[in-house]
C-alpha cells in the first residue's frame, strides 16, 4: 500500500488549483485562473472568482489526474484550503473536496493557505530544515514566520503587514503607472530598463524604533502616486519608477527577513508567494543571504503563485505525520489568522 496519493485543492482567490502529491513528490498538477476576467476591474471580484471555480473545478481535477497518469480511484486522501481567502471562492473548493472525499471514502484535510505556500518549497527542495524563517509575500499577505515542523508545530507569526500586502502595493502602483493587472509581473518587466537611483522612495518601518518584523506598504503606494502626479502633462518615466518601487519593496522585505533569521539563530530563509517571483526580490535575497551566511530557498515560479500542488504538499505532510482528518462538516475560515 505505502503512502497514499494526496489530492490538493486550492480555491481561496482567483486560481483553481489541483495537485497530486505522494511521499513529498509532485505527481501532477493543473491550474485554471480567472485573472483575465478580473483585469478590467483592477482587482479580484469575489463573485466572479467563485463562479469561475464552479466552472473550472472538475476539468482541473481531470487535468491534474491525467498529467499524473492516475485515476480517481488512486486518490488516498483529499486536502483543501479552508482559509484565509474569499468566502465564496473557498466554499466552492471545500464543497468539491467534500464530495470527492465522501464519494471515494478517503480522509479529508482542511488546511491553511499559508501553510500550503510554505509547504510548496518541500516539493522543490525536500523537507524544510527545523527551524527556518519563511517570508510569505503575495497579493494578500506579507508575513514573516518562524516554522518548525510544519505538520506538528504551530507556525509562529513574527510579523505581518500593517496595511497593504507587498503584492497589493505592486498591483496598485502598476495601475497608477498605467501598467496592466496583475501589476507585479508588469512592474518587474517595466523595471528592466529603469534606474532605481533616480527616484527616492521611502523604506517604511525600517527605523531603529520600528517593529523589526512589521511591514507597511500603503505609504509607498502614496509616494509612488505623488511621484506620478509630479509628472502630470509629461511622459512618465515608468521604467525608473518601476525600478525604484521594486528596489524599495525588495530592500525592506529582504532586510527584515535576514534580520529575523539572525535574531532567531536560524540558518535558512525560505521566500514563497507570488512576489517571490520578482527578479529584484530574488536577487537581493540571494545577495543578502550570502553575505549573512544563510541558505536561501525559493521554490520555482509555478509553485510560488497559488496552486493545488502546495495544498497537496501540506496534506501529504499531515498524512505522513498521522494528523487527524477533518470531519465532513468542516467549514471554511475566510479570515483564518
> Which residues of the chain form contacts with Zn ion (CB under 5 A)?
138, 306
Asked if residue 149 belongs to a known ligand binding site, the reply is: no
Whether the CA torsion 25, 82, 70, 107 is positive or negative: it is positive
Q: How far is the CB of 291 from ligand KG4 (least distance, A)?
A: 23
Under DSSP, is residue 224 helix (H, G, I), strand (E, B) or coil? helix
Q: Provide the greatest CA pair distance for the chain.
A: 69
Q: Which of 84, 184, 299, 308 binds ligand KG4 (CB under 6 A)?
A: 184
Asked if residue 55 belongs to a known ligand binding site, the reply is: no
Binding-site partner at residue 285 among Zn ion, ligand KG4, none, CB < 5 to 8 Å by type: none
Binding-site partner at residue 170 among ligand KG4, Zn ion, none, CB < 5 to 8 Å by type: ligand KG4
| Piece in contact with ligand KG4 (CB under 6 A), picked from 35-43, 53-61, 101-109, 275-283 | 275-283
Q: Which of 96, 159, 241, 274 binds ligand KG4 (CB under 6 A)?
A: 274
Question: Counting contacts by CB under 6 A, is residue 183 touching ligand KG4?
Answer: yes
How far is 265 from 294, CA to CA, in rounded Å? 10
Question: Counting contacts by CB under 6 A, is residue 299 touching ligand KG4?
Answer: no
Query: In sequence order, what E strands does 199-263 have?
Result: none
φ/ψ (deg, to 5) at 6 = -105, 130
Taking the least distance from each CB to Zn ion, the nearer of 89 and 285 is 89
Q: Which of 277, 296, 319, 326 binds ligand KG4 (CB under 6 A)?
A: 277
> In terms of Cα–Cα distance, which of 259, 38, 18, 47 is closest to 116?
18
Under DSSP, is residue 46 helix (H, G, I), strand (E, B) or coil? helix
How far is 119 from 136, CA to CA, in rounded Å? 11
Asked if residue 306 belongs to a known ligand binding site, the reply is: yes
Taking the least distance from each CB to ligand KG4, the nearer of 15 and 316 is 15
**CA-based Rg of the chain, rounded to a whole angstrom?**
20
How far is 118 from 194, CA to CA, in rounded Å? 32
Which 4-23 positions form the footprint of ligand KG4 (CB under 6 A)? 13
H or E element: which one contains 207?
A: none
H or E element: which one contains 81?
A: strand 75-83
Question: Counting contacts by CB under 6 A, is residue 191 touching ligand KG4?
Answer: no
The HSE-up count of residue 21 (CA atoms within 13 Å, CB side) is 32
Binding-site partner at residue 277 among ligand KG4, Zn ion, none, CB < 5 to 8 Å by type: ligand KG4
Q: How far is the CB of 190 from ligand KG4 (least distance, A)?
A: 11
Binding site residue list for substrate: 136-140, 171, 184, 188, 278
Query: Which chain residues interact with ligand KG4 by CB under 6 A?
Result: 13, 138-140, 167, 170-171, 182-185, 188, 273-275, 277-278, 305-306
Binding site residue list for Fe cation: 113, 117, 306
Amino acid at each position: 500500500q505505502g503512502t497514499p496519493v494526496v489530492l490538493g485543492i486550492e480555491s481561496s482567490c482567483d486560481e483553481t488549483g489541483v495537485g497530486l502529491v505522494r511521499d513529498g513528490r509532485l505527481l501532477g498538477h493543473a491550474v485554471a485562473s480567472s485573472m483575465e476576467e478580473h483585469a478590467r476591474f483592477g482587482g479580484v471580484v469575489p463573485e466572479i472568482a467563485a463562479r469561475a471555480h464552479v466552472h473550472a473545478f472538475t476539468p482541473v481535477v481531470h487535468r491534474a489526474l491525467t498529467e499524473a497518469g492516475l485515476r480517481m480511484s488512486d486518490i488516498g486522501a483529499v486536502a483543501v484550503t479552508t482559509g484565509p481567502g474569499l468566502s465564496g471562492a473557498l466554499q466552492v473548493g471545500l464543497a468539491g473536496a467534500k464530495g470527492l472525499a465522501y464519494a471515494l471514502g478517503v480522509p479529508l484535510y482542511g488546511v491553511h493557505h499559508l501553510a500550503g505556500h510554505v509547504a510548496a518549497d518541500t516539493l522543490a527542495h525536500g523537507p524544510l530544515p527545523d527551524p527556518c524563517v519563511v517570508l510569505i509575500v503575495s497579493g494578500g499577505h506579507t508575513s514573516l514566520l518562524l516554522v518548525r515542523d510544519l505538520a506538528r508545530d504551530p507556525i509562529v507569526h513574527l510579523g505581518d503587514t500593517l496595511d497593504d500586502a507587498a503584492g497589493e502595493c505592486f498591483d496598485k502602483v502598476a495601475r497608477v503607472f498605467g501598467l496592466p493587472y496583475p501589476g507585479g509581473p508588469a512592474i518587474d518587466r517595466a523595471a528592466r530598463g529603469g534606474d532605481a537611483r533616480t527616484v527616492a522612495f521611502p523604506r517604511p518601518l525600517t527605523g531603529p524604533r520600528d517593529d523589526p518584523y512589521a511591514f507597511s506598504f500603503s505609504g509607498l503606494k502614496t509616494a509612488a502616486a505623488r511621484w506620478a502626479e509630479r509628472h502630470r502633462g509629461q511622459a512618465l518615466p515608468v521604467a525608473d519608477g518601476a525600478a525604484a518601487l521594486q528596489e524599495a519593496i525588495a530592500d525592506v522585505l529582504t532586510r527584515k527577513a535576514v534580520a529575523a533569521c539572525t535574531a532567531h539563530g536560524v540558518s535558512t530563509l525560505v521566500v514563497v508567494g507570488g512576489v517571490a517571483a520578482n527578479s529584484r526580490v530574488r536577487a537581493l535575497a540571494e545577495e543578502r543571504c550570502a553575505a549573512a551566511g544563510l541558505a536561501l530557498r525559493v521554490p520555482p515560479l509555478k509553485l510560488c503563485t497559488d496552486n493545488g500542488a502546495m495544498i497537496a504538499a501540506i496534506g501529504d505532510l499531515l498524512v505522513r505525520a498521522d494528523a487527524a482528518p477533518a470531519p465532513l462538516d468542516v467549514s471554511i475560515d475566510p479570515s483564518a489568522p
